[in-house]
Structure 1
């Protein structure tokens, strides 16, 4: 998992053009819902990333997810 993949995956699931999300944009406000979030969780778990729905839902921003998933 890379920062670039994380961002690209989020943009794809939201139907946003590349580079359109700010690091601290609230992804719920941008259209993230439980189904989309679960899709990301499953995709990232398949890629070997340990995460869960609740952890990501608590702070739904690219910056927070980067910190949580990539230990940055």
Structure 2
């Protein structure tokens, strides 16, 4: 998944625009609760990532998620 694809997926899950979210800001502060995280995991898996819910919960920031998912 490219960075652009990742950000497009995440734009569906955050409150507001993805461009307004700081890379190190907790995604929980911008509306990404556990249900949205599970939905994001499914979206990432559908695009070929083997990411798990637990991995995302441990560090819920765009920077951490991009490091794990973007190729």
TM over 0.5: yes
CA distance in 2, matches of 1:18, 1:53: 20
**Structure 1 residue runs without a partner (length 5+):** none
List 4+ stretches of structure 1 deviating above 3 A. none
RMSD: 1.4
Task: Give how far 1:9 is off.
Answer: 1.6
Normalising by structure 2, what TM-score? 0.87
Structure 2 unmatched runs, 5+: none
Q: Deviations over 1:46-70 (max 9, x none)?
A: 1111101000010001100111112
